[in-house]
Chain A
């Protein structure tokens, strides 16, 4: 009997017994749906992590001046450390191999005013490379340029949040805001950034949309340090040309800083790429667990197929007997039942894929868990369901084929 014929007979059997077929499929449907949903949760978490570290720059090394108490500050200064400084920045730029850019950054907590509005903010002094090295973008206006930096102009770029607070729907570019006793002209507004809600390495979480950026030259010329012991810089962002040299560069950076700071632990080094790798490793275990649970549910689905099909063979003994009496070979009966099992799992697989896709969209929509469906996960789930169908359809098919024709036709 031809293959096409088998399919027709099997599909007929399924359509003739819709409810039974549906029950048989349920296990596969849920199995496939859960595989897709779980893989999409894993993938969503991965993408979220990558996005988070990409914000910090996967080819960056971040050196951060530690937040110290006055007492601790006094101690490290007495042990000769000047804290993070432009000296460090220059040394890194000159010594570390493969450095593309070093962006120094100074910070100060300030109050900013516009008209009758006032808000707390962080004033950040940077060089023009900042925007590129840290993958930031301006929403409108322009970022601080080289000329403004060289001349130490009193210009600023607002974070999206602080801009909203001060200006609401008014046009901020061209307006003057007052920070401490200085008037700064707004030249641009940053694009909104995702809330930095988690602590990454030793970078404390905070809302980046509330920052105000000014040229580092202006920062040092116009604003007093927080206290006389404060470090010159709060952060150095070192961009490496070639990510393969990242780890080597990081060890050189560490060596330089350590020496400049006379072994005082007043800084921390964060390598986003390494944190990303580390997190990926941790997540792998979690993903394997998710996958295993999903695979188990598929196998349970397969056992469901087997159970119902075994029961079906009993119920269809007479049909099998009739087919055998009019000339069906064992192999014809066998392939009829295997094809039915495959058809059930393919149909169940398709419904499961639809349900799984719906499920992960629902999860994204109604919870704060990010999901992302990759095509390969659909194929895996679907392919696996077909394999399960064939494997668990085999036993019932065999028992159907091995029924004795004479006994099955007598069967009541």
Chain B
């Protein structure tokens, strides 16, 4: 298979502060997910620098990147990405397991996280026994359970109807008010309006980067 080099991002220069709530918008293929993967330490840029808490991420080795993802970053994906054969509780416990937290504390914290997203009564259900909105809330609980520095959400409402989408966004609002840094990728204007700031990508470039008038009143 011949490999064609695709430049997904170029000339991106941005800074996100603690407790900011940022929306990243742009048409399909504009590089939103690529940006999020870099921010989430899942991917490293071929050139350029990414400083996370003043640490140059490109200088980290694989184990350090894993630890970073584990402790500092919480992911929420469009397609939830839960492990299908495990209960909600188990899914939420998983990051803590990789963090080396002992069993009892793990369970307590996972139950806590599920309570925060309003799903404590569904903790023994498997993903297949939950609705889309509920699955996404389990995913949010999983992202939160390690108390990460940032919550990264790639089209978190993309697979949900607008009512459950709003519920998830309300949850994000709450988390933001509790002091979390949140970055949400979306191509829906209504979703972006929850954030304080919107970065608009186009063909791998930052097209615009402006504060959100509605939120910053």
B43 cross-chain contacts in A, Cβ below 8 A:
406
Q: Are A322's CB and B66's CB within 8 A?
A: no
For the complex, give the distance between the alpha carbons of A409 and B63 in Å.
Answer: 18
Q: Are A327's CB and B85's CB within 8 A?
A: no
Q: Is A52 an interface residue (CB 8 A)?
A: no
Taking a contact as CB atoms closer than 8 A, the residue among B69, B77, B81, B82 that contacts A327 in the complex is: B69
Q: Is A326 an interface residue (CB 8 A)?
A: yes
A319 cross-chain contacts in B, Cβ below 8 A:
83
A2 cross-chain contacts in B, Cβ below 8 A:
100
Q: Are A325's CB and B42's CB within 8 A?
A: yes
Residues of chain A at interface, number, CB under 8 A: 23
Mark each residue of chain A from 314 to 328: 1 if its CB lies under 8 Å from any CB of chain B, else 0. 000011011111111
With A1-B98, A319-B83, A332-B98 given, is the CB distance from A327 to B42 under 8 Å? no
58-84 of chain B: CB within 8 A of chain A = 62-63, 66-67, 69-71, 75, 77, 81-83
Q: Are B75's CB and A1's CB within 8 A?
A: no
Q: Are A406's CB and B98's CB within 8 A?
A: no
Q: Are A325's CB and B63's CB within 8 A?
A: no
For the complex, give the distance between the alpha carbons of A326 and B43 in Å.
Answer: 13
- When C-beta atoms are compared, the residue in chain B nearest to A6 turns out to be B97
For the complex, give the distance between the alpha carbons of A405 and B38 in Å.
Answer: 12
Q: Are A326's CB and B63's CB within 8 A?
A: no
Q: Are B98's CB and A327's CB within 8 A?
A: yes
Q: Are B98's CB and A326's CB within 8 A?
A: yes
188-213 of chain A: CB within 8 A of chain B = none
Tell me how far the C-beta of A243 lies from the nearest C-beta in chain B, rounded to whole angstroms: 62
- When C-beta atoms are compared, the residue in chain A nearest to B85 turns out to be A16
Tell me how far the C-beta of B64 lies from the nearest C-beta in chain A, rounded to whole angstroms: 10
Q: Is B147 an interface residue (CB 8 A)?
A: no
A321 cross-chain contacts in B, Cβ below 8 A:
81
Most buried by A among B98, B100, B142: B98
Residues of chain B at interface, number, CB under 8 A: 26
- When C-beta atoms are compared, the residue in chain A nearest to B69 turns out to be A327
With A1-B97, A406-B37 given, is the CB distance from A328 to B83 under 8 Å? no
For the complex, give the distance between the alpha carbons of A11 and B66 in Å.
Answer: 24
With A16-B85, A319-B83, A406-B37 given, is the CB distance from A329 to B42 under 8 Å? no
Q: Is B95 an interface residue (CB 8 A)?
A: yes
B37 cross-chain contacts in A, Cβ below 8 A:
406
Q: Are B81's CB and A322's CB within 8 A?
A: yes
Q: Is A5 an interface residue (CB 8 A)?
A: yes
For the complex, give the distance between the alpha carbons of A398 and B183 in Å.
Answer: 34
Q: Is A330 an interface residue (CB 8 A)?
A: yes
A327 cross-chain contacts in B, Cβ below 8 A:
66-67, 69-71, 95, 98-99, 146
For the complex, give the distance between the alpha carbons of A388 and B63 in Å.
Answer: 29
Which secondary structure characterizes the binding site on chain A? helix
258-280 of chain A: CB within 8 A of chain B = none
15-42 of chain B: CB within 8 A of chain A = 37, 40, 42
For the complex, give the distance between the alpha carbons of A112 and B37 in Å.
Answer: 102
Q: Is B94 an interface residue (CB 8 A)?
A: yes
Q: Are A329's CB and B83's CB within 8 A?
A: no
A1 cross-chain contacts in B, Cβ below 8 A:
97-98, 100
B95 cross-chain contacts in A, Cβ below 8 A:
326-327
For the complex, give the distance between the alpha carbons of A324 and B70 in Å.
Answer: 9
175-200 of chain B: CB within 8 A of chain A = none
Taking a contact as CB atoms closer than 8 A, the residue among A12, A328, A409 that contacts B98 in the complex is: A328
Q: Are B81's CB and A329's CB within 8 A?
A: no
A12 cross-chain contacts in B, Cβ below 8 A:
85-86
Most buried by A among B37, B43, B62, B142: B62
B70 cross-chain contacts in A, Cβ below 8 A:
326-328
For the complex, give the distance between the alpha carbons of A406 and B34 in Å.
Answer: 10
- When C-beta atoms are compared, the residue in chain A nearest to B67 turns out to be A327
Mark each residue of chain A from 333 to 360: 1 if its CB lies under 8 Å from any CB of chain B, else 0. 0000000000000000000000000000
For the complex, give the distance between the alpha carbons of A330 and B64 in Å.
Answer: 11
- When C-beta atoms are compared, the residue in chain A nearest to B68 turns out to be A327
- When C-beta atoms are compared, the residue in chain B nearest to A401 turns out to be B62
Taking a contact as CB atoms closer than 8 A, the residue among B63, B71, B86, B146 that contacts A329 in the complex is: B63
- When C-beta atoms are compared, the residue in chain A nearest to B98 turns out to be A327
A16 cross-chain contacts in B, Cβ below 8 A:
85
With A326-B70, A327-B98, A329-B63 given, is the CB distance from A405 to B42 under 8 Å? yes
1-27 of chain A: CB within 8 A of chain B = 1-2, 5, 9, 12, 16
A330 cross-chain contacts in B, Cβ below 8 A:
62-63, 66
For the complex, give the distance between the alpha carbons of A322 and B139 in Å.
Answer: 11
Binding site for B on A (CB under 8 A): 1-2, 5, 9, 12, 16, 318-319, 321-332, 405-406, 409
Binding site for A on B (CB under 8 A): 37, 40, 42-43, 62-63, 66-67, 69-71, 75, 77, 81-83, 85-86, 94-95, 97-100, 142, 146
Q: 14 new A-B pairs (CB below 8 Å) besides A325-B75, A327-B95, A329-B62?
A: A1-B100, A5-B97, A12-B85, A16-B85, A319-B83, A321-B81, A326-B69, A326-B70, A326-B75, A327-B69, A327-B98, A327-B146, A328-B98, A406-B43
24 contacts between A and B (CB under 8 A): A1-B97, A1-B100, A5-B97, A12-B85, A12-B86, A319-B83, A322-B81, A325-B69, A325-B75, A326-B69, A326-B70, A326-B98, A326-B142, A327-B67, A327-B99, A327-B146, A329-B62, A329-B63, A329-B67, A329-B98, A330-B66, A331-B63, A332-B98, A406-B43
3 nearest interchain CB pairs? A327-B70, A327-B98, A329-B66
